[in-house]
Structure 1
Amino acid sequence: MALGLTAGLTGCGSDGPSDVTLSLVVADYDVDGGQSSKEYWQKLTARFESKNPKIDVDVHVEPWTSVDRKVQDMVKAGKAPDIAQIGAYADYAATDKLYSVDEVLSLQTAASFLPPLAKAGQHRRTQYGMPFVASTRLLFYNKKLFAEAGIEKAPTTWAELRETAEKLKEETGVEYPFALPLGPEEAQAETMNWLLSAGESYTLGGGSYDINSARNVETVSWVKTNLVDRGLTGPVAPAKLNRKMAFAAFARGEVGMLNGHPSLLRIARKAGIDLGTVPIPGPRGTPNNAMGVADWIMAFKENGNRTQAGKFLDFVFSDENVLAFAGQNNLLPVTVSASEAMAEDPKYGDLKGFLEPLPSSVLPPVGKTSWAAVSAEIKQSIGKAVAPGGSPKAVLDGIDRVAEQADIKSGGE
């Protein structure tokens, strides 16, 4: 997401030699290429060490493009960090490399996570992944472009979404009436937004994949027929349009509507875009479920520093720290109390629309070790479903076959 460097930050709050130095690898969230993530961890570890003089924390901030690979390489080399804050945990849980949440956190902290996030952190019904920050998705729209096209309100149904996109194109020639990023950066999230808006997702209630269900095929077919085939998704084919590109186009005033997460607020407003947000439309109105997304933090067993890692993680998940990190990055807190504090604070008013659906949100099946392979297949293939001559059913059938094979290989985990 940002900085292309590795930054080692060793705190300096202890009065004498420490008994343990915890190794911590974290992702860089600074979308502007600055030092905000580095500064956050530097201040946090200094405060922690001043209260725990026998524990030092050695922090390495890595860009999102390499942090998962960095931790993977460390684990393979037998040099796992004590704590890692990355994108996925299931593979490490499946190979018994992680402490469970109840082994490291206090009862109070372990019980503080929002229920859908805690559930998503489970592998084989035991929680190993601790949600670090979260987000939901809303429909963003450009108020200036809407006014120029004579559009008075944001769409609430799929039919209204199509009609609004048509007006944007016909009345003012908007380049991207509805930006549809189905490129390999985050196509699995954009697709899940649509599936959820129609009442389904990638899995059934029991956790088995059902990617090519009749309703999912209908959903992707609707997107192809009503948006892509009508030329309402812009000059870049959805299969080649990445989220970052779509967000940048929105910030340039070239996009009428798109599905976005809270970080787009800062990007667009910095560029002077007058924007609005509403729930993502469904076939007949606002759907019951919205997509939630979380990044994860986990504690590795390798060095045996369970107690010290637990003390540090309890500190990380204090309301003060959870709210500070989420607030500075336009993301959402993962605990009940911090979420309530954000909802009550007027300075976070822009995030209220994202906060409201989070407690009932649906997350991707990140607890399944097969999900990494399935997610990669969705990223590479789903754009073909809406391409000229593409077959939504054939593409979803192919993804579902990959999912079934990956599930069998992982033992259904």
Structure 2
Amino acid sequence: MRRGIAALALVASLAPAATACGAGDSGGDRAAGPVTLTWWDTSNATNEAPTYRALVEEFEAAHQDIRVKYVNVPFDQARNKFDTAAGAAGAPDVLRSEVGWTPAFAKKGYFLPLDGTAALADRDAFRPSLITQAQYDGRTYGVPLVTDTLALVCNRALFRQAGLTAAPRTWDELKSAAARIKERTGADGYWGSTAGYYAQPFLHGEGTDTVDTAAKKITVDSPAAEKGYGTWLSLFSGKGLHRADTTADAYAHIQDAFVNGKVAAIVQGPWEITNFYRGTAFKNKADLGIAPVPAGSTGEAGAPTGGHNLSVYAGSDRAHQEAALKFVDFMTSAKSQETVALKNSTLPTRADAYTAQVRADPGIAGFQSVLAAARPRPALPEYGSLWAPLDTELPKVASGKESLDEGLANARLAIAKLVPDFGE
């Protein structure tokens, strides 16, 4: 009861200031009849959205005074679309927000602080690192809905045929395994990506990142980063190592090769688990192996933490915010997260959602086991944009159109424009 009173008090105190941001067509503080929320869901429309639609129906059945207008917004359009809507009018009451968007939208005042509200009543049930990643400037602006990270995903059948019983622990071990797999099975051992996000484990393996937020320095071309990217580059040439694919359809090419047994290992995230199982190589789900990304010279393995939070629009009126808090609480509950995990094979964000039935999925169990190697993203509003320069430069480096030094120098210049207050 105290939590509920505190939640209402907090929302009431914030509502006048929040409305100044642009409240769309929500109306006054108290709507007549049921309150209708608008939820922008950014999940995959084919594989994931049906599960969320079903949960919306469950929520409405349990809350006769709240209706939910469900809108599936393509992920690659959602950030800009919400930014435009929130800065004017017509933003949704609830957004399924990628974790990297949180600092930027919180800084602009578009997200409602959720500390002490009903949406975070079960705060202690969530992984602490995921709560931290939903924060900006000491406040929490999202409730973790699903999480993810990158892992070394392996075809165990091909590894067995090559006489390999364990996943590579270092990038050098991966090179050796790739050569052996090629020799004994004819399949490629590893196919890497040229995308900036997928190169992130090579930086973490050297104990660095694109920027040092504490020191406010750009580190994308530091000696440690250059070493990491050098290792990344070396995995595109050699026996059993697939050459770099810099085409627009590279992601699909890599995925198709893996699920159909043409390559034994890739770096990938849990959002592809259901697609793995559809491939000819994984009719037996037990043949899907999940291991931490290989370690760099520091001896540590590290991969970026991804996922999505549910955030409440600060520009909605009080009645819609109160309803939105109830909706977020329901959608992020242990029961709802278990349902999502079982239907979509995505990773829950709270320990009590990893039931025996959920853990029976080898993909989920495997990715859960590598979460310890996930590195939270810095609370830097511009951080999610820092991979874009690398998406431009790394394919040029991988294809030999420019040297690694040239590519990182160009990336540094582009990143400097995004974080102009960061120096050497």
TM-score scaled by length of structure 1:
0.82
Instruction: Give the drift of 1:238.
Output: 5.0
Deviations 1:29-76 (A, max 9, x none): 35xx35x523x3333233323333222211112333433344344335
Q: 1:135 aligns to what? A: 148
Quick check: 1:385–1:395 contact (8 Å CA) kept in 2?
yes
Answer whether contact 1:197 1:280 (CA < 8 A) is retained. Answer: no
CA contact (8 A) 2:119 2:328 kept: no
Alpha-carbon distance in structure 1 between the residues aligned to 2:295 and 2:253: 25
C-alpha displacement at 1:252, in angstroms? 1.9
Are residues 1:91 and 2:99 paired? no
Alpha-carbon shift at residue 161 of structure 1 (Å) = 0.9
C-alpha separation in 1, matches of 2:83 and 2:63: 29
Q: Does 2:297 correspond to 1:294?
A: no
Q: How does 1:215-234 map to 2 (within 5 A)?
A: 215-224=224-233, 226-230=234-238, 232-234=240-242
CA distance in 2 between counterparts of 1:335 and 1:393 reads: 42
Residues 158, 284 of structure 1: 8 Å contact kept: no
Distance in 1 of aligned mates of 2:177 and 2:417? 41
- Equivalent positions of 1:156-235 (< 5 A) are 156-174=169-187, 176-182=188-194, 187-204=195-212, 206=214, 208=216, 209-224=218-233, 226-230=234-238, 232-235=240-243
SS of the equivalent of 1:178 reads coil
Structure 1 runs of 4+ aligned residues shifted over 6 Å read: none
Aligned to 2:365, what secondary structure does the other structure show?
helix
Does 1:318 pair with 2:318? no
Residue 57 (structure 1) aligned with residue 68 (structure 2): yes
**Residues 42 and 218 of structure 1: CA distance in aligned 2, closer, same or farther (over 3 Å):** closer
Structure 1 residue 24 corresponds to structure 2 residue 69: no
> Taking structure 1 as reference, are residues 52 and 268 closer, same or farther at Cα in structure 2, changes over 3 Å only?
closer
Would you say the 8 A contact 1:382–1:395 is kept in 2?
yes
Say whether 1:102 aligns with 2:124.
no
Cα deviations by residue, 1:342-382 (Å, 9 ceiling, x for unpaired) = 468552344223113425621334x3222243121122222
Do the aligned residues in 2 keep the contact of 1:195 with 1:216 (CA within 8 Å)? yes
Q: Is the 8 A contact 1:202 1:364 kept in 2?
A: no
> Residue type of the partner of 2:199?
T
RMSD value, Cα:
3.0
SS in 1 for 2:266: strand
Distance 1:144 1:349 in 2: 15
Distance 2:104 2:415 in 1: 16
Whole-Å Cα distance in 2 between the matches of residues 357 and 141 of structure 1? 14
The residue aligned with 1:8 is none
Q: Which amino acid aligns with 1:296?
A: N
Question: What SS is found at the alignment partner of 2:147?
Answer: strand
Partner of 2:129: 116
Deviation at 1:240, TM superposition (A): 5.6
1:203 and 1:302 map into 2 onto residues whose CA distance is 32
Partner Cα separation in structure 2 for residue 43 and residue 312 of structure 1: 14
Structure 2: any 5+ residue segments left out of the alignment? Answer: 1-31, 282-286
The 10-residue stretch of structure 1 (229-238 or 136-145) with the greater mean CA deviation from structure 2: 229-238
Following TM superposition, by how much is the alpha carbon of 1:394 offset from its aligned partner in structure 2, in angstroms?
2.9
Shift of 1:231: 6.3
State the SS of the aligned residue for 1:291.
strand
In structure 2, relative to structure 1, the CA distance for the partners of 1:269 and 1:239 (3 Å cut) is: same
Q: Is the 8 A contact 1:158 1:281 kept in 2?
A: yes
1:22: Cα distance to partner?
1.0
Quote the offset at 1:107 in angstroms: 4.9
- Where do residues 381-400 of structure 1 align in structure 2 (5 Å cutoff)? 381-388=393-400, 390-400=402-412
Cα distance, 1:349–1:253 mapped onto 2, change above 3 Å: closer
Does 353-362 or 243-252 show the bigger shift?
353-362
Equivalent pairs, count: 383
Shift of the 312–354 alpha-carbon distance from structure 1 to 2, 3 Å rule, reads same
TM-score normalised by L of structure 2: 0.80
Any idea what SS the aligned residue of 2:168 has? coil
Q: Does 1:154 align with 2:167?
A: yes
Change (3 A) 1:65 1:378: same
Relative to structure 1, the CA distance from residue 285 to residue 398 in structure 2 (aligned partners, 3 Å threshold; closer, same or farther) is closer
Structure 1 residues 113 and 58: alpha-carbon distance in aligned structure 2, compared to 1, 3 A threshold = same
CA distance in 2, matches of 1:92, 1:112: 25
Secondary structure, aligned partner of 1:264: helix
Contact 1:138–1:279 (8 Å) recurs in 2: yes
The 1:359/1:52 distance shift into structure 2, 3 A limit, reads farther
Amino acid in the other structure paired with 1:124: D
Aligned mates of 1:43, 1:112 — CA distance in 2: 24
What residue identity is the alignment partner of 2:89?
G
Unaligned runs of 5+ in 1: 1-16
